[in-house]
Structure 1
Amino acid sequence: MAPLADLYQVSMAYGHWRAGRHRAPAAAELFFRRPPFRGSFALGAGLAEGLRGLRAFRFSAADVAYLRSVLPSTIDDAFFDYLATLDASEVTVTAIPEGSVVFARVPFLQVKGPLLVVQLLETTLLCLVNYASLVATNAARFRLLAGPDMKLIEMGLRRAQGPDGALSASKYSYIGGFDCTSNILAGKLYGIPVRGTIAHSFIMSFRGLEEVQPRVSRAWDRNGNGNGNGNGNGNGNGNGMRLDSGNLAQQSKEIRGVFQACAAHFQVPWFGTIPIAVSNDISEQSLEEFRREGSEIDMIGIGTNLVTCPLQPSLGCVYKLVEVNGSPCLKLTEDEEKMTIPGMKTIYRLYDAAGHPFMDLMALEEEPSPSAGQELGIRVLGRLGETTKVIPTTVEPLHRTYFRDGQVCEPLPSLPEVRTHAQVSLNLLSPAHRRLHEPQPYPV
């Protein structure tokens, strides 16, 4: 996992090593500057992958040999010998639990350890967290628009950014609230429920119904009575209808009427409830239209607009040094948004009497912890010139220690458990912070 890094990380590591600063205690924080998709929140994801990467962090002999071939020949041989000894045994990582709602500027991960190793981890951790959190957030937005009862299937394998991107999309869409995936390999690797419909080509391959009955229909009919049509929609009996073009909401209502009329005429009640699935470049706008027009849709397959995140291709997470040798570090720049907040911090989430989080509080490690019912004088980012008084009903410390002494030290939840936690975390948000368009900014 160590070679999953930008070359300049190794160049900087060499500079630290030459200066004798490579073992200086340091700390860095991983966060994003702006909430994605013009919303107020993101779902933090990729933590488990990051922890596995830390556990496997080392340069093999082949890795070191390759670095020798691409770095300048003037680099001291002893540096390469040192790289061969590196691991993450002296690194400590604290983080907000995976699947939690996270907000701009609040550290999702905090990394402490020797300066050289902390620096080398930057690109690796950003790679593992950035897309994971982005697609989980995108999936959560689709879930919020669809409502809790709609079945959502991730169908982006053929449109994703390569096989690795497709697998990540399936995994983190599931965390974000999707029910299943069409990706067989993702189902095998991660235990995600696998579902599917049928393509136009299957229908086009037959000349008429006489070629379909009875053998083809019985292929999906568990009772052998010729009722299935092979849609594989996830209701357990293989019955279903897929719509893939035109006015999907209107068609679903018309088809439901036909199903119900047939059910009444032939006295087969189940026929009236046959699931109707839709696809066809489904976007957030599509879901808003379904809700506005009303529909009889039971399942929605979403691919391109889920896995490629076209509204925002990158979350823009950054990894910034905040402390070296016990001294806070501050990045100064004319761009105020890119200035960092120095020093190691403890992060708290403050809740109101209704149980909604209303503010995240960053305090220096040495500062006393806030208490429920206690008045706090705080300064909100972006309004640092004024002090605001707040009284939280509940105070929740957000970070847990997940990695220490080279090992994961906190039990990691299963994928379904992370998915459930994500939905709980989203449901705690107030409607003003949860809404997807022009939400109320969340103060930090």
Structure 2
Amino acid sequence: MSDNQSNYKMARQNGIVQPLLTDLYQITMAYAYWKSGKANDVAVFDLFFRTNPFHGEFTIFAGLEECLKFLENFHYSDSDIEYLRQTLPANIETEFYDYLKDLTCKDVKLSAIEEGSVAFPRVPLMRIEGPLIITQLIETTLLTLVNFASLMATNAARYRMVAGKNISLLEFGLRRAQGPDGGLSASKYSYIGGFDGTSNVLAGKMFNIPVKGTHAHSFVTSFSTLEDIHSVTLRHAVTREQCNLLELSLAWRKRLSSIMDVSPDEASDGELAALISYAQAFPTGFLSLVDTYDVKRYNIGLAPHRRNGRYNSNCGSDIPATTVDRTLRSGLLNFCAVALSLHDCGYRAVGIRIDSGDLAYLSILARDIFKQVAEEFNLPWFAELTIVASNDINEETILSLHEQGHAIDCFGIGTHLVTCQRQPALGCVYKLVEINGQPRIKLSQDVGKVTIPGHKEAYRLFGADGHALIDLLQRSTEAPPRTGQKVLCRHPFQESKRAYVIPSKVEHLYKVYWKDGRICVHPKPLSEVRERVQASLRTLRQDIKRNLNPTPYKVAVSDDLYSFIHDLWLQNAPIGELS
């Protein structure tokens, strides 16, 4: 095992991930292999995908750690064997069940790309070698562990790219995920892809992911009047004297109403009671929703934005004065009053969350209010209060908000992230490419489904500018490409597409992670895998990563592998007959 294993302990395997988490045909094939004497034939399988997701030109490989845990824990329990006896046909020989009971992955060898790396179509993410029966039995489980993980990490990485480096991203999707297992996986792999935290408490515990959250609208609406406040006092952070938070907040609300050009009579007392109560509970972490109440009444708003009866948000939205959110007249007024009261008690508020309405407009207006308050009362930190936005956000929403010049510091993203609504499946496949040293090829009228046969190695060749230029597949018997030496790279199926490459750097993509019944290279902690994603993405040119019409990244085969593919193709393709 590598040195990095000593300081890292993998999270426990989800109890659902077990040998019976598979398709029935894997078990029936296993019996047929066993009965026909092929159980110990030496097989090589490739696990790969054919098309990048989300109309993009890259994929993030994830799920390797879970695959290694699965191999490590692979064992049919007594109850598994009993269930199979009851489920499979009665003619199954008893000795087969005895064979399964003793079966482990000790004879399997798994090589893979490093988790968190960018990957591309046709380049195997993992190569699985070993006895045919066991390498077949683990197929479905490996696919389910890699497919969603890689899709989710890729989706998160795309959100990180469109959001930019300076905006925080939080995953809020547990309640919308495809069940608890989908929710946990989404939290884990969104963090790997570049998100900064999750609302999922169990994911935080299991995977050491920062957990973030504030309160829901129900907390605000559970308060009706100021009489609903159980206690109005808070100890000063420094002097420990009792502060009357209600009196301070009411005084600040009155004082702020003239500065903000709003009426204190419009602000909801129930909302103020809720914010005071939340501030008492979390005086050092006061971040609150400000959009619980929304009415359309008066032509009131911030003077700098009011012009001819309309409000100009300076962000592409020209909103009629009669439809200005009460967020501005109640939520923001109440928040600022409580935030300033907390400051009087020695604390600093964190910020606000906006979950509805015109996010660009409201964020800019909120920032203007914060700056105005900061200047009026000489509190520079108030201008920098955090503005969090949620509300069904996707990639296009973020791009649009950027175009409008929003003032948002953090996005909370749920449904579109965790369900991968733009593309719900990656489509990884698991194909036999060699048996007992003999190559195997799957032919199809759809050239995209023709497999690349044989035991292969993969290399990433870098150009003179330091960016990844092309991924090269070649037969394992070939000498690896060398830095500074010309390499002929060919399209696997189109004869005319070929080019010479002189790489400035050559990276061998595969490491052996599992062999002889043990983990050879231990997975890295999630924080390091997360860093690997960003480092790997930096090796790609910007045009490959762009959101609209990205440039395809090239995947090629060596000249030797090209000839090998086409010779085998001719050997296996039937000869037609004209009549």
Which category describes the TM-score, using the shorter chain as reference length? over 0.9
Native 8 Å contact 1:346 1:362 kept in 2: yes
Match of 1:16 in 2: 33
Matches within 5 A, 1:77-226: 77-207=94-224, 208=269, 211-212=273-274, 215-222=277-284
Match of 1:253 in 2: 364
How many Å apart are 1:211 and its aligned residue?
2.7
Larger radius of gyration: 2
Match of 2:89 in 1: 72
Native 8 Å contact 1:229 1:240 kept in 2: no
How many Å apart are 1:373 and its aligned residue?
0.9
How many Å apart are 1:240 and its aligned residue?
1.1
**Cα deviation 1:21-49 (Å, max 9, x = unaligned):** 11011110100000001101100000000
Q: Say whether residues 1:267 and 2:368 are aligned partners.
A: no
How many Å apart are 1:237 and its aligned residue?
5.5
User: Partners of 1:63 and 1:286 in 2: how far apart?
Assistant: 48
User: Partners of 1:223 and 1:376 in 2: how far apart?
Assistant: 58
**Counterpart amino acid of residue 355 in structure 1:** G
User: Partners of 2:206 and 2:498 in 1: how far apart?
Assistant: 50
How many Å apart are 1:60 and its aligned residue?
1.2
Normalising by the residue count of structure 2, what TM-score does the alignment of the two structures yield? 0.74
**Counterpart amino acid of residue 554 in structure 2:** P
Match of 2:311 in 1: none
1:335 counterpart (446, 449, 462): 446
Match of 2:417 in 1: 306
Alpha-carbon RMSD across the aligned residues, in angstroms, is: 1.8
User: Partners of 1:134 and 1:213 in 2: how far apart?
Assistant: 39
Q: Tell which deviates more after alignment, 306-315 or 384-393.
A: 384-393
**Counterpart amino acid of residue 271 in structure 1:** F
Change (3 A) 1:339 1:213: closer
How many Å apart are 1:197 and its aligned residue?
2.7
User: Partners of 2:63 and 2:465 in 1: how far apart?
Assistant: 30
**Counterpart amino acid of residue 45 in structure 1:** A
How many Å apart are 1:278 and its aligned residue?
0.3
Change (3 A) 1:404 1:261: same
How many Å apart are 1:441 and its aligned residue?
0.9
Native 8 Å contact 2:219 2:274 kept in 1: no
Structure 2 residue runs of 5 or longer lacking an equivalent are 1-17, 225-268, 287-336, 556-579
User: Partners of 1:196 and 1:351 in 2: how far apart?
Assistant: 42
2:469 counterpart (354, 358, 374): 358
How many aligned positions are there?
439
**Counterpart amino acid of residue 184 in structure 1:** V
2:505 counterpart (387, 394, 397): 394
**Cα deviation 1:73-107 (Å, max 9, x = unaligned):** 11111111111110000000000010000001100
How many Å apart are 1:216 and its aligned residue?
3.9
How many Å apart are 1:202 and its aligned residue?
1.7
Normalising by the residue count of structure 1, what TM-score does the alignment of the two structures yield? 0.96
**Counterpart amino acid of residue 48 in structure 1:** E
Report % sequence identity. Answer: 48
Partner secondary structure for residue 339 of structure 2: coil
Matches within 5 A, 1:272-287: 272-287=383-398
**Cα deviation 1:191-221 (Å, max 9, x = unaligned):** 0000013211222222316635755423221
Native 8 Å contact 1:229 1:238 kept in 2: no
Q: Say whether residues 1:57 and 2:74 are aligned partners.
A: yes
Native 8 Å contact 2:488 2:501 kept in 1: yes
Change (3 A) 1:249 1:223: closer
User: Partners of 1:228 and 1:372 in 2: how far apart?
Assistant: 62
**Cα deviation 1:311-342 (Å, max 9, x = unaligned):** 11000000001100000010112121111110
Structure 1 residue runs of 5 or longer lacking an equivalent are 231-235
Change (3 A) 1:186 1:229: farther
**Counterpart amino acid of residue 273 in structure 2:** E
Partner secondary structure for residue 158 of structure 1: helix
1:41 counterpart (44, 58, 62): 58
How many Å apart are 1:425 and its aligned residue?
0.5
Partner secondary structure for residue 36 of structure 1: coil
Q: Say whether residues 1:29 and 2:140 are aligned partners.
A: no
Q: Say whether residues 1:227 and 2:244 are aligned partners.
A: no
**Counterpart amino acid of residue 374 in structure 1:** Q
Native 8 Å contact 2:285 2:349 kept in 1: no
How many Å apart are 1:158 and its aligned residue?
0.4
**Counterpart amino acid of residue 540 in structure 2:** L
How many Å apart are 1:295 and its aligned residue?
1.0
**Counterpart amino acid of residue 425 in structure 1:** S
**Counterpart amino acid of residue 142 in structure 1:** Y
Change (3 A) 1:210 1:155: closer
User: Partners of 1:152 and 1:376 in 2: how far apart?
Assistant: 42
Partner secondary structure for residue 400 of structure 2: helix
User: Partners of 2:485 and 2:410 in 1: how far apart?
Assistant: 47
User: Partners of 2:535 and 2:498 in 1: how far apart?
Assistant: 32
Q: Tell which deviates more after alignment, 108-117 or 77-86.
A: 77-86
Partner secondary structure for residue 347 of structure 1: strand
Native 8 Å contact 1:241 1:277 kept in 2: yes
Q: Tell which deviates more after alignment, 77-86 or 205-214.
A: 205-214
